[in-house]
Structures are given as structure tokens and as C-alpha cells.
Amino acid sequence: MASEVTYAEVKFKNVSPAAVVKVPLDVKKRESHPQKYPLWLPWLTSLLLLLVCVALVVVLFVAPFFRRGVQPRALQQNFTEWLCVSEVPRGKEGGLTCCPKGWKRFQGSCYYLSTDVMSWDDSKQNCTGMGSHLVVINSEAEQDFLSSEIRQISRKENYYIGLSAQEVGQWRWVDQTPFNVTAAFWRKDEPSNKDDQKCVVMHRLSPPPNNWNDVKCESHYRICEAAAVTV
């Protein structure tokens, strides 16, 4: 006997036509609120780019201007009047070399010959305060120039230079330039190398170029030196 197939119609209540897949709550939140960058981030990026541009301008344009020595700050604060000369032939373009008014110019330096006296330490500080230093003599030409300048001044005998010794006979320049014994300009029988004579002056009445003398670090005139300004 053949089996009989029975069909029945079955209805499910409250079931949606499509299958329902449950999603975790934290996944839903991430999907409904996607991650956003902070509102201030574009402004910060723009500011950093601006600072980089400013730095490049300073490096490329402003820094070279100051390296050329256009009125160094220390001198600018102390002097408002300058005397400038051109060292190139007339008719050709070129820079001007300037020194504060009242200073002497030689080659690339400016020199101040004081009209008052101080101890060596005070003289050193005075020169530094003007944006200079006690003179450091590097050549016979410079020595001759300064010797000629001080001989034109009356009633002034000794001028401090930037040479001194912490220990007897151990001479040092104020700018740490090595002392060259073969390029020194001592008077005859000088230096005396006494324990109480550790500072050096140029002696006005001695015939040039050999007019250096070691003395006590008491009150004398001074010669300050600064690099000439080029504009």
C-alpha cells in the first residue's frame, strides 16, 4: 500500500520576513558615531607650518644680515653716531666699513684710546661693556699703527693692551689667542717677569715698534678693539 503525503499550512505569528541578526551594543555605537579628529588639529597643523616658514625666512635672509656685522647689538646700544668709509674704488659698488665716532679705524678693526685711567680688570670690563675687548695685537702693522696713534697724544704714557699673566711669564691674550713669543714687541730688558707685574702696557715714549712693558695692574689708559661694522 503506497504511503500518503499530507500537506499542512503552518503560520508563525510575530516573525519578520527577514532573518534578524543581533549585533553587540558597542559595535552599534562605533558604527553610528565614527571616529573624528579634534577640531583644533587643523589649526595646530597650520600654526606649525607657519612657524617652519618663519624659521626658514630667518635662516635664509635675516641671519646672514647679522653675520655681516651690521651694527652689532652691543655697539649699537652704546653708540648712535658712526663714521663710514668705502674701501672700493670710486664708481664701483661696495660695502662701507664703519666705526663709532671717535674711534680709530685700521684694516678691519676699530680702536678706542681712552682719556681716563682704570685698573687692568676695570679696563677689561669697560671695553667689554662697549661691545669690544682690550686690544689683541696680531701683526707688526697693527703694532705700528697703534704706536703711531698713542705718540700723537700728549701727557699720556701707558696704554693697557689685552695681555696679562696669571702666573709669572705665562702671558695670555684676553680673547684666548695663543701668545707668540716671536711676534711680541717688548721694550729692551722687558718683560721683567716680576710677581707684582702681570699686566702689559704700550709705553708711549718708547720708540716703536718695541714698546711693551709689564707693569703692576694699577691705573693706566687703555686701548679697546672691536670688529669694524660692514654695511
User: pLDDT means per 10 residues in the chain (231 residues)?
Assistant: 43 47 51 60 82 69 43 68 79 76 94 96 96 96 96 88 94 94 93 95 93 96 94 78
Q: What is the pTM of this model?
A: 0.67
* Rg, C-alpha atoms of the chain: 41
Find, among 120, 151, 144, the residue nearest to 224 by Cα.
120
At residue 207, φ and ψ (nearest 5 deg) are -65, 135
* Cell matching residue 197: 707685574
At residue 128, φ and ψ (nearest 5 deg) are -60, -40
Rounded CA-CA distance 156/106 in Å is: 21
Identify the pLDDT of residue 19.
47
At residue 6, φ and ψ (nearest 5 deg) are -110, 130
Identify the pLDDT of residue 56.
72
Cβ atoms < 10 Å from Cβ of 181? 7
Find, among 75, 77, 149, 70, the residue nearest to 114 by Cα.
149
Identify the pLDDT of residue 53.
75
Q: Which residues are 110's β-sheet partners?
A: 105, 226
Identify the pLDDT of residue 200.
98
* Top-tier CATH class for 73-230: alpha beta
Rounded CA-CA distance 182/64 in Å is: 37
The SS3 call for residue 188 is coil
Identify the pLDDT of residue 22.
54
How would you label 102-123 residue by residue, b for 16+ Cβ within 10 Å and e otherwise? ebbbbeebbbbbbeebbbbeeb
Identify the pLDDT of residue 122.
98
Identify the pLDDT of residue 47.
85
Identify the pLDDT of residue 89.
57
CB 75 within 8 A of CB 227: no
* Cell matching residue 84: 663710514
Rounded CA-CA distance 128/226 in Å is: 10
